[in-house]
Chain A
Amino acid sequence: MSDATQTPVTFTAKKRKARINSSAVVMTLYLLFLLLPIYWLLNMSLKTNTEILNSFTLFPRNLTFANYATILTDPAWYLGYVNSLIYVTMNTVISLAVALPAAYAFSRYHFMGDKHLFFWLLTNRMAPPAVFALPFFQLYSSVGLFDTHIAVALAHCLFNVPLAVWILEGFMRGVPKEIDETAYLDGYGFGRFFVKIFMPLIASGIGVAAFFCFMFSWVELLLSRTLTTVDAKPIAAIMTRTQGASGVDWGVLAAAGILTIVPGALVIYFVRNYIAKGFALGRV
């Protein structure tokens, strides 16, 4: 809110310019604040440990990709990424598969207990993982699923299924009901109508829901760490291992961190207009 805008009688070219500039300054400062810590991690990941610890440099003097090479060649490291990707993908598929019909039901019909059910789903999105860590550990141990990918995928359904239902419902309510009715009159059965006509109509909604399921499963650590030991250990948990007897391997830790940011950064452009809608459970 610059002073230039306090006199809005007529915006002269000069004043308008001043206003744009003050906005640009605010945005530049804010983005700088956001990007500086990430830059620092990137910077560290491209340095040798000696350089990190012994000299303080704003950019890598001896540019090295050795840290990335360590991660991409050591199975103990890269399998962490594979594990994470496996359970995240499983979770996304399961969440969407069950959420699609449910969201349709919520967006189109009244049925007994629908409001209570919708609210109950919401409470699961809000449930603190810390409350569920121990019971999950015992539940999945007792059914023999401990340390498997599916256990983590199912555990993450706790918050991802409600999230997907809410987001999809938000998108589906925007589709006029007449389309459903016309299709039924034309002799479409529910299944064929849903897959052939309805799903293409809410394709962007499905994409957004998939993105958010993927993301929330990808960023979660507490449950995935509690439910795994070796075979399905996610990258996030492996990162805590760099603290060896000889101190912390900072370079490799930073490189691993940068590599976990990559999947989100790759798709972010495509969902940029839906980020707010997704976080707000389809309600913006």
Chain B
Amino acid sequence: MEKTVNQKAWFLVLPVLLLVAFSAVIPLMTVVNYSVQDTFGNNQFFWAGLEWFSEMLDSDRMWDALGRQLMFSCIILAIEVPLGIFVALNMPKSGVWSSLCLVLMSLPLLIPWNVVGTIWQIFGRVDIGLLGYTLDALGIDYNYTQDTLAAWITIVVMDVWHWTSLVALLAFAGLKSIPDAYYQAAKIDQASRWKVFRYIELPKMTGVLMIAILLRFMDSFMIYTEPFVVTGGGPGNATTLLSIDLVKMALGQFDLGPAAAFSLMYFLVILLISWVFYTVMTTLDKREG
């Protein structure tokens, strides 16, 4: 749509600007403040320069958390994206069943995150959980509070359970926008099922899939509540992802300086991903318009 230049539009965005400035800029400035100062208590602060940053960059703690975080995000993307596409391809296209699938698939998306954690914490317990009990009965040694691998599998399966539907719903929306004529043309050309998918469905889905991948990457990158409720970051530090580590540092130990430096670097990564996301979005908008 052709937009007109109108500087008065600023008055319309002013409330948003003020509100978000209050809830984002002021807190962020506090973080910046802490990241360059040191304190001995009593609200006395000293200039520390970039000391906290270099300390954080030198310490293994942040790099380990970042490594675990990247591993987690990559694993869940590698599972959720193909699985989501596969589910979307098999969804009924219209009618009662389609509605039913949509409703049931959306259900996990609307559950409070700590309840998601609670559900899986209970589900995986060997004594009272269906999953844990079944695995135990099959003779598989499964204990997510002690065993690193079991803990990882639990939080990955939990995330797949929680968010695959989102990828599927987005892919489904992309699929539904394909005109029937495309399929008829493919039928006339005697294209195989794989070729229909590769040359018709996949290209039409790339836009929504990009959105899905970026959203999932971003949201998994700041995941906190669900793994925290299930494993508390353990066993040891095995499932301590970035956010969990940060909260431990800031609210648990009140290490303000390092936590603030950590926050800023974390935020920079998010900023970078946001930029990619924004670019993709605007490109899509242009292609559409």
Contacts and interface: CB of A to CB of B under 8 A. Distances in A.
Interface of A: 1-2, 5-6, 8-9, 22-23, 26-27, 30-31, 33-38, 40-41, 44, 52-53, 56, 58, 94, 97-99, 101-102, 104-112, 114, 117-124, 126-139, 154-155, 157-158, 161-162, 165, 173, 176-177, 215, 218-222, 226, 236, 239-240, 250, 253-254, 257, 260-261, 264-265, 268-269, 272-273, 275-277, 279-281, 283-284
A104 B193 CA distance: 44
Q: Which of A104, A120, A177 lies at the interface centre, i.e. has the most chain B CB atoms within 10 A of its CB?
A: A120
The 4 A-B pairs at the shortest CB distance, nearest first, are namely A264-B110, A135-B27, A128-B222, A105-B12
A236 to B, nearest CB: 5
Contact of A275 (B169, B259, B271): B169
28 contacts: A9-B190, A27-B87, A31-B105, A33-B161, A36-B130, A97-B15, A102-B16, A117-B17, A119-B278, A129-B222, A131-B266, A132-B24, A132-B28, A138-B30, A139-B27, A157-B19, A157-B20, A176-B1, A177-B1, A215-B110, A220-B113, A261-B107, A265-B110, A269-B103, A273-B102, A275-B106, A279-B169, A283-B281
Interface stretch (B44-52, B53-61, B70-78, B115-123): B115-123
Interface of B: 1-10, 12-13, 15-17, 19-20, 22-24, 26-28, 30-31, 86-87, 89-92, 99, 101-115, 118-120, 122-123, 127-131, 133, 161, 165-166, 169-170, 172-174, 186-187, 190-194, 197, 208, 211-212, 215, 218, 221-222, 224-225, 242-244, 246-247, 250-251, 256, 259, 263, 266-267, 270-271, 273-275, 277-278, 281, 284-285, 289
Contacts of A111: 5-10, 13
Contacts of A269: 99, 103
A280 B193 CA distance: 28
Nearest to B197: A1
Contacts of A236: 112, 114-115
Given A27-B90, A111-B5, A133-B247, A283 B16 contact: no
B123 A37 contact: yes
A222 B247 contact: yes
A218 to B, nearest CB: 6
Contacts of B224: 128-130, 222
Contacts of A117: 13, 17
Given A126-B277, A134-B250, A279-B215, A101 B12 contact: yes
A34 B274 contact: no
A78 B87 CA distance: 38
A45 to B, nearest CB: 10
A257 B105 contact: no
A23 B101 CA distance: 12
A260 B17 CA distance: 32
A257 B108 CA distance: 12
A127 B270 contact: yes
Contact of B6 (A109, A126, A260): A109
A31 B28 CA distance: 42
A108 to B, nearest CB: 6
B86 to A, nearest CB: 7
B116 to A, nearest CB: 8
Main secondary structure of the interface of B (DSSP, over half): helix
A226 B172 CA distance: 37
Nearest to B137: A56
Contacts of A161: 16, 19-20
B171 to A, nearest CB: 9
A27 B101 contact: yes
Nearest to B16: A102
Q: Which of A107, A118, A130, A253 lies at the interface centre, i.e. has the most chain B CB atoms within 10 A of its CB?
A: A130
Given A128-B266, A221-B225, A261 B271 contact: no
Given A131-B267, A139-B26, A98 B122 contact: no
Contacts of A31: 101, 104-105
B30 A135 contact: yes
A161 to B, nearest CB: 6
Given A131-B31, A219-B111, A220-B112, 8 more contacts: A8-B186, A23-B90, A41-B122, A110-B4, A130-B247, A134-B256, A220-B113, A268-B107
A109 B5 contact: yes
B87 A279 contact: no
B27 A136 contact: yes
A33 B119 CA distance: 13
